[in-house]
Chains A and B, each alone.
Chain A
């Protein structure tokens, strides 16, 4: 499978990999976003409201783009999210 497949799903490129349909690729990108969004919202229910829809969407998209977790346990996503936020904060402070 070409690297471009997951690059598209992560939102790191807008180039649809050869042989795949744009509609199918958009569906996968959406499903991954939805899964991450729902899981983070379960753990931090107030965050979405505090940020507002636009900022929330941007945050989840940024998280999905650079995520690199390997745990089999979906719930561990929240720890990855915390690590992601810490990296973001570090980047802003340097």
Chain B
């Protein structure tokens, strides 16, 4: 079972031939838009889940309840209980529309888990938070320790992004992918993300561009977890979107051997 991040660039595609079992969209892109393409995906028997990009769980601005109510209405409309966003800030008190690191400190564990609980109270259901790529950060504990403390305190789920763990290891050499995974409670993981990334020599950093093929190691790690725990995998390809044939090929690599 493999899912695909649905992009508006795919609006002209014949989605019936896309070999994905489920889809994911950003609620920010669909709350105010004609949802006909999403209804068509649902009519083909393939669910659509929500993965937000702007909640700013780590930001300083107040959680916007009106926005969450709109997300909740969209969830009802799409008949899904899945909504996730990133363990990151979208800016200071304002939106800079990117994902910024939250210091890995106990103080932030408390603040973040309180904000997640507030979100879950407004929505009336449990959300998942995604481990993110960070290009520099400060703190007093490891990323995975921070992630697990937050999700346990907030009692929320995890959207486990294997590519982000790999990118962070390449950039910072702090936590091996397998060590990171050994600390994660897979019972809390709703599904996994895989994607591709690129090296940017201007910064000497690997950037999480979602514009490339998935690396072999990332794919194999995801497939192994899928075999062990049955956790679904979703492919994110958001920039330089390839042909439908290339995407199908990538998806087939993610479904290979998953039914054994």
Q: A21-B136, A23-B203, A28-B135 are in contact. Are A68 and B98 (CB under 8 A)?
A: no
A70 contacts across to B, CB distance below 8 A: 61, 64, 93-95
- Complexed CA–CA distance, A21 and B26 (Å): 31
User: Interface readout for B164-186 with A: 1 if CB under 8 Å, 0 if not?
Assistant: 00000000000000000000000
Residue pair B100, A67 in contact (C-beta under 8 Å): no
Q: Is B92 an interface position by the 8 A CB rule?
A: yes
Out of A3, A6, A27, A67, name the residue touching B135 (CB < 8 Å): A27
Among B134, B135, B205, find the residue whose CB has the most chain A CB atoms closer than 10 A: B135
Q: Is B207 an interface position by the 8 A CB rule?
A: yes
Interface residues on B, range: 20 to 34
B98 contacts across to A, CB distance below 8 A: 28, 31-32, 35
Min CB distance, B171 to chain A, in Å?
Answer: 8
Please, which residue of chain B has its CB at the minimum distance from the CB of A19? Answer: B138
A48-83 CB contacts (< 8 Å) to partner B: 64, 67-74, 77
The 8 closest A-B pairs by CB, nearest first: A24-B136, A24-B135, A19-B138, A6-B92, A21-B136, A27-B203, A72-B54, A20-B136
Known contacts A24-B137, A67-B94; 4 further A-B pairs (Cβ under 8 A): A1-B89, A23-B136, A23-B205, A77-B97
